[in-house]
Amino acid sequence: MGKLQVLVVEDDVEIREAMLDVLADHGYAAAGAVNGRDALEKLEKGPVPSLILLDLMMPVMDGRAFREEQLRMPSLAQIPVVVVSAYHDVAEHSKVLNVEAHLKKPIIMDELLQVTRRYCC
Amino acid sequence: MIEHETSAERLRQSDERFRFMVENIKDYAIIMLDPSGNVSSWNEGAQRIKQYQAGEIIGQHMSAFYSAEDLAGGKPARLLREAMAAGRVEDEGWRIRKDGTRFWADVILTALRDGSGSLIGFAKVTRDLTERRASEEATRLSEERIRLMIQAVKDHAIFMLDPEGNVASWNEGAQHIKQYRAEEIIGQHFSRFYPEQDVLAGKCERGLEVAARDGRFEDEGWRVRKDGTLFWANVVITVIRNPEGALLGYAKVTRDLTERRLLEDEKVRLAQAQEAIRLRDEFLSIASHELKTPLTAMQLQLQSLLERVKAVDGHVASRLGRAIRSGARLADLIETLLDVSRIATGRLELSPTKFDLSEAIGEAVERMSGSAAQAGCPIDTRIQPGVTGIWDRVRIEQVLANLLSNAFRYGAGMPVTIILKSDGAKAQLEVFDEGPGIPETDLSRIFERFERASSTRNYGGMGLGLYVTRQIVDAHGGSVSARNRKDRGAAFTVVLPLAPEPVARVEPKPPKELR
């Protein structure tokens, strides 16, 4: 498998595909996961991305549970995470989850690209 | 002769023994009076009860034992007359001891006559019943006190029913609760306190039956006052029987629990209302997430399409731009609706942090530069640097965004001015536009819900932004006001304490997912 820059963890297929499209348009190697569990499995198989864009409200394993699992695994703990959520208080969630940054839905494309650029040189 | 002497001797001995016996009786004063009422003999009991020695009282008139009132009323003479006429008289009353103290006496005065019927004197037997009287008096007083107490109780109707269910006594509480006066209800059947359907259903008879059978009957229900209004009553009917078991009647104690009942109804209604609010919150929260999800996907697609066509087709790009702006407005409306819901249900929670408002405003203005350009409003900022305080940053930025979009809407094509300054205790943020100003009649109500100064046809939005603004400012312990400027345009002024004592709850709360 080739180089992976961004893993988009998002249960809504339209949002996931739109984010992947935008990222692809701008030349990023991006892959999607449909929930936290799926993301962990993909991460364990590798390759390891430079950035994880993480939705919070997802079935099977939500963003919070994923973040806890991630931080428990030394091989994955260092991957920067940016939370992407529709929560009004997404800033607070991000603080509690100790992530790099957050984007509020609906996402502004420029902000998405800006934050991606910061972690994927 | 000898025999006669012996018989006389026996009689003498018998008299002697009898006299000895009488003299020594201690519990009864047994004395002889001569026909005019003077004491002629005295015994131990008399001495004990009345305290006189025989030597000091024999020869004295029996009136020595009576009180001044009795003497004034001629009681001793009357008793002697009655004893003479009837042979015997009994009297109970106060008598006086030698030391002047009173004792309660039972007196039997018997006229003594010889064989020919001539009055030879009186026998007077007196018992001291002071102690018995005291205990009787105590009982009487205690019964009287209980009666008065029951009479005076105001919160409970306490009254008696005769065996047929007619009211036999009445107290203050009964009058207070049921509104009848004693004289208009005593003798009436107690069924008049019940609603008609209860009477027809035989509730009154059943209550008495159960009480007679089990000793007690308790019930809660609506009862009728004299004026026809209902009250919620707790009723206890207790059977009253004499020691032999015969039915004497019933004691009925009624309490007015209307207020408690209403309070309970109120609690139920409150719980239902809270549940309805909780469901609405839940619905709104889910609805908002559901609304934002497709919007997010749509906006991203539109933005990336816009980016692609921007260079090749200006016309399509401009139409995509409009679609994106509509999507953004939809997103804002969803947020505003949620805020209004949070405010309406008292859940506008602040997350205060210390930040530099001067910088935050600079950044917010930067973010809104697109909208400003679109509205044709150059922004002039006069910001005092370093105005730092403890506020909810997201909410304060929302306040500024609301005031700015308001200014862009009403003052389109004209400059908008933002002024921030601080006096060390408060921060004051002002937004000036150069639009038409606010009609005087609207000035007082533009911060109310669903109020908007202009008609819907000319301007978009739902008129909720200023309402949300004011709620946020209030929650920070600040104030927001609007006025028209002298030359032209409207001015909105927000004053925020630097270290607020917020009205809303501010305790740090974990995000929903961690709760």
Instruction: Give the DSSP letter string of B332-399.
Output: HHHHHHHHHHHHHTT------EEEEHHHHHHHHHHHTHHHHHHHT--EEEEE-TT-EEEE-HHHHHHH
Phi, psi of B317 (to 5 degrees): -60, -40
A45-71 pLDDT per residue, tens: 888 899 999 999 888 899 999 999 999
CA distance B164 to B254: 18
- Write the DSSP symbol of residue B242: -
Scan for tokens 């150069």, then name that residue. Answer: B434
User: Which pLDDT value is given to residue B507?
Assistant: 40
Where does the pLDDT of residue B511 fall: very low under 50, low under 70, confident under 90, or very high at 90 and above? very low
Query: Are A89 and B331 a contacting pair at CB < 8 A?
Result: no
Instruction: Please check whether residue B65 is in contact with residue B45, taking contact to mean a CB–CB distance below 8 angstroms.
Output: no
Interface test with A, best of B281, B290, B291, B293 (most A CBs within 10 A): B293
B24-37 pLDDT per residue, tens: 888 899 999 999 99
Query: Are B303 and A93 a contacting pair at CB < 8 A?
Result: no
Of B19-23, B31-35, B40-44, B356-360, the range with the lowest mean pLDDT is B19-23
User: Which pLDDT value is given to residue B88?
Assistant: 93
Show residues of chain A in contact with B300, CB under 8 Å: 15, 18-19, 21-22, 106-107, 109, 112
- Rg, Å, chain A Cα set: 13
In the stretch 316-375 of chain B, residues with CB closer than 8 A to chain A read 327-328, 331, 335, 338, 351
Query: Are B300 and A87 a contacting pair at CB < 8 A?
Result: no
Residue B506 has pLDDT above 50, yes or no: no
Residue B410 has pLDDT above 80, yes or no: yes
User: Which pLDDT value is given to residue B229?
Assistant: 93
- Written as six digits, the tokens of B145 are 């006190």
Selecting from A14, A88, A108 the residue whose C-beta is nearest the C-beta of B294 gives A14
Residue A33 has pLDDT above 70, yes or no: yes
**Long-range contacts, stretch B322-330, CB < 8 angstroms, 24+ apart:** B324/B299, B325/B374, B327/A106, B327/B295, B327/B298, B327/B299, B327/B302, B328/A106, B328/B299, B329/B460, B330/B295
Q: Where are the beta strands (DSSP E) in B152-229?
A: 156-161, 216-224
Across chain B, what does the average pLDDT equal? 86
Helix B258-310 to helix A109-119 angle (10° resolution) is 70
B479: part of which helix (H) or strand (E)?
Answer: strand B479-484
CA distance B478 to B500: 8
In the stretch 59-118 of chain A, residues with CB closer than 8 A to chain B read 62-64, 86-89, 91-93, 96, 105-110, 112
Query: Are B292 and A105 a contacting pair at CB < 8 A?
Result: yes
Show residues of chain A in contact with B352, CB under 8 Å: none
Where does the pLDDT of residue B451 fall: very low under 50, low under 70, confident under 90, or very high at 90 and above? low
B279: part of which helix (H) or strand (E)?
Answer: helix B258-310
- Written as six digits, the tokens of A18 are 């739109």
Q: Which residues contact B475 (CB under 8 A, 6 or more apart)?
A: B348, B350, B395, B502, B503, B504
Show residues of chain B in contact with A107, CB under 8 Å: 296, 299-300
pTM of the prediction?
A: 0.50
CA distance B198 to B204: 8
Selecting from A17, A93, A106 the residue whose C-beta is nearest the C-beta of B292 gives A106
Where does the pLDDT of residue A35 fall: very low under 50, low under 70, confident under 90, or very high at 90 and above? very high
Selecting from A86, A89, A96 the residue whose C-beta is nearest the C-beta of B292 gives A86
Instruction: Please check whether residue B363 is in contact with residue B452, taking contact to mean a CB–CB distance below 8 angstroms.
Output: no
List the beta bridge partners of residue A82. A53, A101
Selecting from A15, A17, A110 the residue whose C-beta is nearest the C-beta of B293 gives A15
Query: Are B288 and A86 a contacting pair at CB < 8 A?
Result: yes
CA distance B227 to B177: 11
Q: Which residues contact B384 (CB under 8 A, 6 or more apart)?
A: B358, B420, B421, B422
User: Which pLDDT value is given to residue B443?
Assistant: 78
Interface test with A, best of B284, B285, B298, B300 (most A CBs within 10 A): B300
Q: Does B299 touch chain A (CB under 8 A)?
A: yes
DSSP track, B400-461:
HHHHHHHHHHHSTTS-EEEEEEE-SSEEEEEEE--SS---GGGTTTTTSTT--SS-TTTS-S
Residue B152 burial by Cβ neighbours in a 10 Å radius (0-12, 13-18, 19+): exposed
Instruction: Please check whether residue A60 is in contact with residue A37, taking contact to mean a CB–CB distance below 8 angstroms.
Output: yes
What 3-state DSSP class applies to A8? Answer: strand
- Written as six digits, the tokens of B303 are 């933005």
User: Which pLDDT value is given to residue B387?
Assistant: 92
Side chain identity, residue B149: M
Residue A10 has pLDDT above 50, yes or no: yes
- Written as six digits, the tokens of B181 are 């006066």
- Residue in chain B closest to A110 (alpha carbons) equals B303
Interface test with B, best of A17, A88, A93, A112 (most B CBs within 10 A): A88
Query: Are A22 and B300 a contacting pair at CB < 8 A?
Result: yes
Of A33-47, B20-34, B59-73, the range with the lowest mean pLDDT is B20-34
Interface test with B, best of A11, A92, A113 (most B CBs within 10 A): A92
ipTM > 0.90, yes or no: no
Where does the pLDDT of residue B214 fall: very low under 50, low under 70, confident under 90, or very high at 90 and above? very high
Where does the pLDDT of residue B8 fall: very low under 50, low under 70, confident under 90, or very high at 90 and above? confident
| Closest-CA residue to B406 (of B448, B452, B443, B338) | B452
| Longest Cα–Cα distance in chain B | 176
- Residue in chain B closest to A87 (alpha carbons) equals B289
B318-350 pLDDT per residue, tens: 889 888 988 888 888 888 877 877 777 676 778
Q: Does B308 touch chain A (CB under 8 A)?
A: yes
Selecting from B289, B292, B301 the residue whose C-beta is nearest the C-beta of A18 gives B301
Mean pLDDT score, B85-93 = 92
CA distance B296 to B79: 118
Show residues of chain B in contact with A21, CB under 8 Å: 300-301, 304
Show residues of chain B in contact with A58, CB under 8 Å: none
A96: part of which helix (H) or strand (E)?
Answer: helix A90-97
| Closest-CA residue to B289 (of B337, B344, B325) | B337
Where does the pLDDT of residue B3 fall: very low under 50, low under 70, confident under 90, or very high at 90 and above? low
| Closest-CA residue to A57 (of A4, A9, A2) | A9
Q: Does A42 touch chain B (CB under 8 A)?
A: no
Of the ranges A87-91, B143-147, B191-195, which is most confident?
A: B191-195
* Percent share of chain B, pLDDT over 70: 92
Selecting from A17, A93, A107 the residue whose C-beta is nearest the C-beta of B299 gives A107
Show residues of chain A in contact with B510, CB under 8 Å: 96
Mean pLDDT score, B53-60 = 92
| Closest-CA residue to B406 (of B381, B380, B377) | B377
B216-224 and B230-241 strand pairing: antiparallel
